[in-house]
Structure 1
Amino acid sequence: MAPTRAQLLETAIALVEAFETWTIDALLAKRSTKSTQHFLPESLGRSAQDIDGFRRHIEFLMPLVPDGFKVNARYKEPMVDEAARKVAVFAKCSANTVAGPYHNEYIFIIHLNEDGTLADKVEEFLDSSLVRELESRLAAFEEQKP
């Protein structure tokens, strides 16, 4: 039986809101073992990551964002394509990084497995100018370390 709209939404929202828990287990819990992560737009120059690459990415970020993210994944109505098992979640995120505050807007396009319980692919669109600005601040922070 095909997953319902409610099931697709539940899985997609849980995947995005897992950033608030800021644990590896929670961030991987709604992703299949074959899941891929795509950071977009392409101008960011980031390659797609398999589940192990995504884990390494999060492990790299954890000390830079020690308290995790505050996420609002419900400020706009998600878009759901039940037949294709895709959900677009609009989110606003904020965090206190080691280099100061960070805020950004995201669109997650989440492609779910046949039963709608796990993501097989996550396309994460973010405001690239805000990411570049954060990267500059983090680089300056790292340069100032003794």
Structure 2
Amino acid sequence: MSSIRAQLLKTANAYLDAHTNRDAKALGAIYSSSSTHETYPKPVQPIFPHVSNEDYLAGVADLFKMWHSFECHQFSEPIVDEEARKVVLFVEGRGVADVGTYVNEYVVVLKMNKEGTLVENRLQFFDSQGLLAWVAKMGQQVTDLQNKVTGKAAEA
């Protein structure tokens, strides 16, 4: 295995571990300060809008607090493009919160810096049906989190 491939996979695994451990600080350590965060498909964008790295990390820290437990399992081998410095992850997320159990599938594309140590762009695709059903259960907690991340709380 080439050294850059190993580093790309190490950073991608750190991403998964940070989610499983609900560790916003560890997650922040693998993002460049100018990292961008995009979420698809369009029906989930009102819940998880495209945001700056600072807003993303603030939002994810609050989101992690909602979970009693959360795990990420890859259901397929990652795709690694060494030249483009990208790793595509195929993930099942499973968590427990006050409103019950959450299960969803994601495709996450992590575009990294030249060294493969920092994520410069996170592009995430949710199974929108599972996510929207979960958001309906979460109710006001999700609305409050969304408002905080998008700055609407300050405007209200």
Q: Is this a same-fold pair by TM over 0.5?
A: yes
Displacement of 1:24: 1.6
Distance 1:127 1:95, change over 3 A: same
TM (norm. structure 2) is 0.81
- Percent of matched pairs sharing the same residue: 29
Displacement of 1:23: 1.9
Q: Deviations over 1:53-106 (max 9, x none)?
A: 1122113313322x2411113x31111111110110111110001211000111
Please list every run of 5 or more consecutive structure 2 residues that lacks an aligned counterpart in the other structure. Answer: 143-156
TM (norm. structure 1) is 0.86
* Distance in 1 between residues matched to 2:4 and 2:133, nearest whole Å: 40
* Distance in 1 between residues matched to 2:79 and 2:72, nearest whole Å: 18
Matched, 1:63 2:65: yes
Matched, 1:78 2:78: yes
Q: How large is the RMSD of aligned CA atoms in angstroms?
A: 2.0
Q: How many residues align?
A: 139
Higher strand share: 2
Distance 1:55 1:121, change over 3 A: same
Please list every run of 5 or more consecutive structure 1 residues that lacks an aligned counterpart in the other structure. Answer: none
2:41–2:128 CA contact under 8 A, matched in 1:
yes
- SS of the aligned residue for 2:58 comes to helix
Higher helix share: 2
Displacement over 2 Å in runs of 4+: none
18-27 or 101-110, larger mean C-alpha shift: 18-27
Q: Deviations over 1:88-132 (max 9, x none)?
A: 011111000121100011111000001110100001111011110
